[in-house]
Structure 1
Amino acid sequence: MKQFFKYVLATIVGIVISSIVIFLMFLGIVGAIVSSADKKEVKVEPNSILYVDLKQEIVDRGSEDPFKGFDFTSFQPNSPIGLNQILKAIANAKEDSNIKGILLELDAVNAGAATTEEIRNALIDFKSSGKFIYAYSDTYSQKAYYLASVADSVFLNPEGMIEWLGLRSEVMFFKKTLEKLGVEPQILRHGKFKSAVEPFMLDKMSPENREQTLTYVSSIWNQWVKGISETRGISADKLNSLANNMEIFNAKKALVNKLVDGLIYKDELIATLKTKLGIEEKKDISSIELKKYFKAPEVAKRKFSKNKIAVIYASGEIGMGEGDDDNIGSEGLSRTIRKARRDSSIKAIVFRINSPGGSALASEVIWREVDLAAKVKPVIVSMGDVAASGGYYIAAPATTIMANPTTITGSIGVFGLFFNLQKALDNKLGITVDVVKTNDHADFFSVFRPMTAEEKAVGQMFIEQTYQTFIGHVSAGRGIPVEQVDAIGQGRVWSGVNAKDIKLVDEFGGLTDAIKLAAEKAGLENYRLVELPKQKKLFEQLMEDMSAEAKAWMLKDELGLSFKAYNRIKSMLNNQGVQARIPYDIEVY
C-alpha cells in the first residue's frame, strides 16, 4: 500500500510539472510567433489612409514584450502603445506618398493631457504636408474632441454627442476608513501644499489643496479651449458658455454651434472618404491601422552616423533597486545614465520623465547621475503627463527642461508617512504585541506603537533637512535663489504654463522637440537615436511578467473601478517613510 501511494504521488507531481513545462513552452511559442510577426515589415498600398484609434493605453515607450497587458480571458494581446511609436508613425505618414490622409475614429483617448497634446501637435505638423485629416465618432469625450478638433472635417453620428462640460479632478479620502479599522497615520511634512498625505488625515481637500488643484485644472482647460478656438474658429467665451449651459449633448446643437462639420453615419463616412480619395463606389478603401503602421518602412531614413542621442525613459514611481518598464529604480536608472555619460558616441541625452515621484533617497541617487551627466554633455528633460515632486527632483540639474502646457509638475516638497496598527490589531483581531529592546528608541519605526513626541521631532528634523536639500538642488539647477524656490515650492503643484512663468520650465515642447533641441545643443546635423534602458529579451520578460500580469488581470477583473483605489492604498503602504511624491494620482475628466 505504501508503494502504491508513493507511485500515485510521483504520478501527480509528474503531471503537475509536465503541465507547467507545457504551459511555459506554449507561452514561449506564442511569444515567439508574436515577436516574429512584430518584426515583419508591413507593406502600405498606394492611395491608403492611416486609421487611428487610441482606445489602448498610451505610455511613453512601447514595450517589445508581447505579454504586456495580455488579456488572459480572451488570450488576446492588449499591450499599451508607445507615444514614441505614435509620433514616429505620424511623422513617417507625413512623408509616405502611399498615405493620402488620416482618419481619426475617437470616442475616448486612453492617455494623459500632455500625451494628448503631443499627439495633437504631431497631427498639426502632419497637415503641413497638405494631406487631409478626418475625424469621426459616435460620442466624443472632451479629450477625444480636443484631439479631433485639428481635423479638416469633424463628423459625428446624427444621434451622437460631444461631452463638453469642463474639467474636474477627484480625490479619494481614507481618513474614516482608517478610523474604522483603528489604523493611525503618523504624518510629518514640509509645505502647506504638500497634500500627498491629506487622503489619510482629512475627509476633504484643504483650502491650499483646493487652490492649487483649481489653478492647474483651469490651466489645462484654458489650453484646450484655446486650441479648439484656434482650429474651429469658435471664441473661447462661446466654448465656455456651451460648457456651462450643457448645450452640446445634442448632435444637432453641436452642428449648429460649429463644433462639427457634419452629422453622418458610418456608411456615409466611407462614401465621403471614397470621394476624397477618388475611389469608385464598388471598390474598397485601402487603409492601415496605426499599430500595424509602426512596422512600415521609414520613408525618410537618416544616414548612418556614429553620433548618437540617447533617449532615456523614466516612467512610474521612484523607488530603490532596479525598477522596470512601469517603475523607476534608482540603481537601474542611475546606471543607465552613468553609461550614457561615459559613452563618447552619445553626444546628448534626452531624459523623458513621466513620474509622480516617490522615495526621496532614490530621487537623490538619480539626481546625482543627472547632475554629473549635465556637466559633460547636453541633458534635455522632456516632461510627459506628470513630472512632479521626485519627478522634478531628478529633472532639476538638466541643461534645459521642456514640458507641455498641460504637464503637471512642481510639487517641491517632502513628507513622511508611518502607520500605527496597534489599535487595529488589538480591537479588531485581538492581537497584542510586546517588545524587548536594548535602547529607548530601538523600535522607532515599529508599526505596532505610536511615535513619541521626541521621535516626531527627530523625524520632522529629517524632513526639513531633506526639503532643504531638495530646494538647494532646484536652486543650483535652475539658477534661481533658494528663497524663490521655497516660495514657489511648499509642495505646490503647477501646470506647465504656470511652471514656465515661475522658471521651473524653460520651453514648451514634446519629445520630438526635445530631441531636436538636444541635436542643436550638441551641434549635430546627422545622428541616430538610441532608446534606453535597453528592453529585456523576450523569454526573460516572459518569465518576469507572466505571473505579474496574471495577478493584475485577476485583481482588475475582481475589483473593477476600485482597482485604482487598491493600487493607491497599496502604494502608500509600501512607501512608508520619507517621500517626495505628488499629492495623488491626477486624472483629468
Structure 2
Amino acid sequence: MRGFFKTFFAALLALVVFAVVVFFLLLGIIGGVLSPSKPEVGGRAVLVVDLGQTYKEQVQDNPFADLGSDEQYDVPGLYDVVRLLRHAKEDTAIKGIYLKCNNDPNGFATNEELRIAIADFKKSGKFVYAYGEGISQKAYYVASVADKIYCNPKGEVEWKGFATEMLYLKGALQKLEIQPQIFYAGKFKSATEPLREDHMTEANRIQLTELLNGFYDRFLETTAEARGLDTAVLRKCVNQSLIRRAADALDYKLVDGLLYDDEVKDLIRSKLKVDSHAWLNFIPIGKYAKAVNFKATGKDKISLIYAEGEVVDGKGEKDEIGSETYRWLIRKARFDKDVKAIVIRVNSGGGSSLASENIWREITLARKEKPVVISFGDVAASGAYYLSCNADSIFALPGTITGSIGVFTIITNLQSFFKNKLGVTFDGVKTAPEADILSATRPLTANERTMVQNVIDTIYHDFKSRVADGRKKDIGYVDSIAQGRVWSGTMGLSLGLVDRIGTLQDAVDCAARMAKTSNYRLVEYPEPKSFLDRLLGTYKRNASVQAVKSEIGEDGYRTYTILKKVKSMIGVTETRLPFDLTIE
C-alpha cells in the first residue's frame, strides 16, 4: 500500500508541475501575442510585393504570425497595401520595390489599385524591379508600370488574350431527373443559365464578349503606354501567338532582359551600391505592415466599412455580408457624432434580395445625417449594386464588374429523382391548395408558377425603382440598362451607374471633402477577431477545405463550390451574378 501511495503522489506531483509549466508557457505565448515586438526594417531595405498573394479587402490573419516566426506574416488587406506603398514612398529606409510577378489570382480592379499605388511610389525616384519565371497576363498588367521587367530565360510571359468559361449542369440534372423550376427577370440574368441550358445563351455571350473586350482593350492600351509600344503590334502578338517563349517577349520588348533570380538580385545589389555578396534586406509587405505605423491619425472619424462576400440574411459568417451585421455597423456609424462620414467598400456579386433591401434601407437613413460614399472593388453587382445605389457618390475602377440589375429564384422538384432513382415517395395532408408551395417533392402547379413569377417581377420592379431614385434616372432608362446585364466600371460611368472612376483612397478623400474635414482618422469595420477566434476559425476552415480537396482534387473542389452555391439558391429570391465568373 505504501508503494502505491508513493507512486500515486509522485505521479500527482509530476502532473501538477507539468500543469504549472504549461500554464506559464501559454502565458508567455499569450503575452507575446498581446504585445508583440515590432520587426526592424533596417537600412537599404527593398519592399517585396508578391502578386501571387490574394489581396482581399481586409487583412487575412495568420494566427501564428505573432508567435515570433520570421517567415509568417498576416497578408495585408488591399487598402493596407496601398497605404503601405504610400508610406514606403517617403520612408528613407526603403530604397525600392521588388515585384514578384508569376501567377496573379486577383481581380482586375484589385490589380488596378496596386498598379496605381506602385506608379505613385515611382514618383519618389526609387526603383521598381519586376521579376517572374512564368508571368501571367494579370501579373504583367501590374508589372508593366515597373522600371524594369525581367523574366527567367527558360520561363514564359503569358500573352494570349482573355477568356472565361462557364460550367453547365442541365444534362446532369436531366440524367438525375432533377427539375430546377427557374424564375427570373432580365434577359441577361445568367445566374440560372447553367441549370437551364447546356451552352451559353446569345444574350450572355453578348454581355460577356463586351465585358472581356473592354478589359482586354484597356490591358493592351495601358501596356502600350507604359512600355512605349504600339497597341496594334501587341494585338498582333496575341492573334498570331507570337509570344511563345521568354525570348519572344524580349524580342517584342515586353521585358527588359532574360535573367535568373540571382542575376536580378545582383542588379539590385548594384542599384543599392552594396557588395556583390551582401545579404539583401528584402522586407515582405506583411512584415512591413508590422514594422511601421501607416494609418493616418486625426481628430474626426470617418467610418470605413468593408463589405466583401455574398449578401446573406441574418448575421452571416466570415467573408459574407450579413444583413443584421452590416445594418448594425452602418447604424453604429450613423449614431456616432464623432463619425463625420461613412465610406463603404463593396466587393460582392450580390445574394439575397431581402438582405440587400435591408442594407439599402440603413444606407438611406445614414445618408440623411452624414455623407455616405461607396467604393466598388472587383465586383459590385446585382444585390451588391442594389444596396449601394442610394449613396451620395459611387466610385468604381475600370476593371470593376457592376450592374446585373435583375432577380431570380429556383424551386427544385425532386419527385422523379426520389421515386425513380431511390424508390422513395411522399404523401401528406394540407389545409390549403398552396400550403406546400415550396416543397421539393412535387412540381409547381400552373397557378403557383404564376404566383412565383409575379413575386420575381415585383422585386425586379422594386430593384429598378431603387436604382432610379438613387441615381436620379427615369425607370424606363434604368430598365433599358438593367435586364440583369453586367457592365465594366468604365461603362458603368457612361451609363450613370457610378459617379466617378477612382480608387478607395479617392472615395475616402471625397467623403472627407463632403464632411469638410482634413483632420481625420479611419475607423475600420468589421473589427479583427481575437487571437483564439482566429486560431480556431483558421484551423476549422483549412481542415474542412483540405479534407474535401484531398478527396476530389482542385478541379473537383471548384465544381463542389458551384454545387454548394446551387443548393444555397434554392427557394431564396436572389439578386446575384453568375456562379463563377472567372476571367483568365
Same fold, judged at TM 0.5 (above): yes
1:199 equivalent in alignment to 2:179:
no
Partner of 1:448: 441
1:345 equivalent in alignment to 2:345:
no
- 1:397 match: secondary structure: coil
Q: 1:445 to 1:89 in 2, by over 3 A?
A: same
1:48 equivalent in alignment to 2:41:
no
Amino acid at match of 2:270: T
1:27-38 matches, within 5 Å, as 32=30, 35=33
Of the three residues 351, 358, 363, the one matched with 2:351 is: 358
Amino acid at match of 1:59: K
Runs of 4+ aligned residues of structure 1 deviating over 6 Å after TM superposition are 24-31, 76-79
How far is 1:540 from its partner? 3.4
Give the Cα–Cα distance (whole angstroms) in 1 for the partners of residues 230 and 198 of structure 2. 39
Q: 1:26 to 1:419 in 2, by over 3 A?
A: farther
Of the three residues 405, 419, 422, the one matched with 1:429 is: 422
Deviations 1:357-399 (A, max 9, x none): 1111111111100111112111111101110000100110111
Q: 1:525 to 1:79 in 2, by over 3 A?
A: closer
Q: Where does the alignment leave 5 or more consecutive residues of structure 1 unmatched?
A: 1-20, 69-75
1:104 equivalent in alignment to 2:99:
yes
443-452 or 277-286, which deviates more: 277-286
Deviations 1:223-246 (A, max 9, x none): 111111111011111111111111
How far is 1:486 from its partner? 0.5
Of the three residues 548, 551, 555, the one matched with 1:561 is: 555
How far is 1:65 from its partner? 5.8
Give the Cα–Cα distance (whole angstroms) in 1 for the partners of residues 118 and 435 of structure 2. 60
Q: 1:425 to 1:108 in 2, by over 3 A?
A: same
Of the three residues 55, 58, 65, the one matched with 1:58 is: 55
Q: 1:212 to 1:285 in 2, by over 3 A?
A: same
Of the three residues 530, 540, 553, the one matched with 1:547 is: 540
The percentage of aligned residue pairs carrying the same residue is: 42
Partner of 1:72: none
Amino acid at match of 1:462: V
Assess if the C-alpha contact under 8 Å between 1:62 and 1:84 holds in 2. Answer: no
Alpha-carbon RMSD across the aligned residues, in angstroms, is 2.2
Give the Cα–Cα distance (whole angstroms) in 1 for the partners of residues 299 and 319 of structure 2. 31
How far is 1:538 from its partner? 2.3
Q: 1:109 to 1:367 in 2, by over 3 A?
A: same
Of the three residues 175, 182, 187, the one matched with 2:177 is: 182
Amino acid at match of 1:327: E
Partner of 1:516: 509
317-326 or 195-204, which deviates more: 317-326
How far is 1:112 from its partner? 1.1
Assess if the C-alpha contact under 8 Å between 1:35 and 1:66 holds in 2. Answer: no
Partner of 1:371: 364
Deviations 1:457-490 (A, max 9, x none): 0001111110111000001111111111100000
Give the Cα–Cα distance (whole angstroms) in 1 for the partners of residues 74 and 415 of structure 2. 42
1:297 equivalent in alignment to 2:258:
no
Assess if the C-alpha contact under 8 Å between 1:34 and 1:66 holds in 2. Answer: no
Deviations 1:166-210 (A, max 9, x none): 000111000011111111000111110011100000011100000
What TM-score comes out, normalization by structure 1 length? 0.91
Assess if the C-alpha contact under 8 Å between 1:142 and 1:163 holds in 2. Answer: yes
Q: Where does the alignment leave 5 or more consecutive residues of structure 2 unmatched?
A: 1-18, 66-70
Partner of 2:567: 573
1:213 equivalent in alignment to 2:213:
no
- 2:283 match: secondary structure: strand
- 1:104 match: secondary structure: strand
- 2:291 match: secondary structure: coil
Assess if the C-alpha contact under 8 Å between 1:67 and 1:546 holds in 2. Answer: no
Q: 1:255 to 1:540 in 2, by over 3 A?
A: closer
How far is 1:558 from its partner? 2.4
- 1:61 match: secondary structure: coil
Q: 1:65 to 1:394 in 2, by over 3 A?
A: farther
Q: 1:208 to 1:262 in 2, by over 3 A?
A: same
Give the Cα–Cα distance (whole angstroms) in 1 for the partners of residues 338 and 509 of structure 2. 17
Give the Cα–Cα distance (whole angstroms) in 2 for the partners of residues 206 and 561 of structure 1. 24
Q: 1:553 to 1:372 in 2, by over 3 A?
A: same
Give the Cα–Cα distance (whole angstroms) in 2 for the partners of residues 485 and 28 of structure 1. 59
1:467 equivalent in alignment to 2:460:
yes
Partner of 2:126: 131
Give the Cα–Cα distance (whole angstroms) in 1 for the partners of residues 320 and 447 of structure 2. 35
Assess if the C-alpha contact under 8 Å between 2:62 and 2:75 holds in 1. Answer: no
Assess if the C-alpha contact under 8 Å between 1:182 and 1:421 holds in 2. Answer: yes
1:479 equivalent in alignment to 2:472:
yes
How far is 1:63 from its partner? 3.5
Of the three residues 507, 518, 529, the one matched with 2:522 is: 529
Assess if the C-alpha contact under 8 Å between 1:380 and 1:517 holds in 2. Answer: yes
Partner of 2:380: 387
1:131-170 matches, within 5 Å, as 131-170=126-165
Deviations 1:80-133 (A, max 9, x none): 542122112211111110001001121011211111111111001101111110
- 2:302 match: secondary structure: strand
Give the Cα–Cα distance (whole angstroms) in 2 for the partners of residues 27 and 62 of structure 1. 28
Amino acid at match of 2:168: F
Partner of 1:115: 110
Number of aligned residues = 557
Q: 1:569 to 1:26 in 2, by over 3 A?
A: farther
Give the Cα–Cα distance (whole angstroms) in 2 for the partners of residues 32 and 553 of structure 1. 28
447-456 or 285-294, which deviates more: 285-294
Of the three residues 321, 325, 343, the one matched with 1:328 is: 321
Q: 1:406 to 1:29 in 2, by over 3 A?
A: farther
Give the Cα–Cα distance (whole angstroms) in 2 for the partners of residues 492 and 375 of structure 1. 30
Give the Cα–Cα distance (whole angstroms) in 1 for the partners of residues 351 and 156 of structure 2. 40
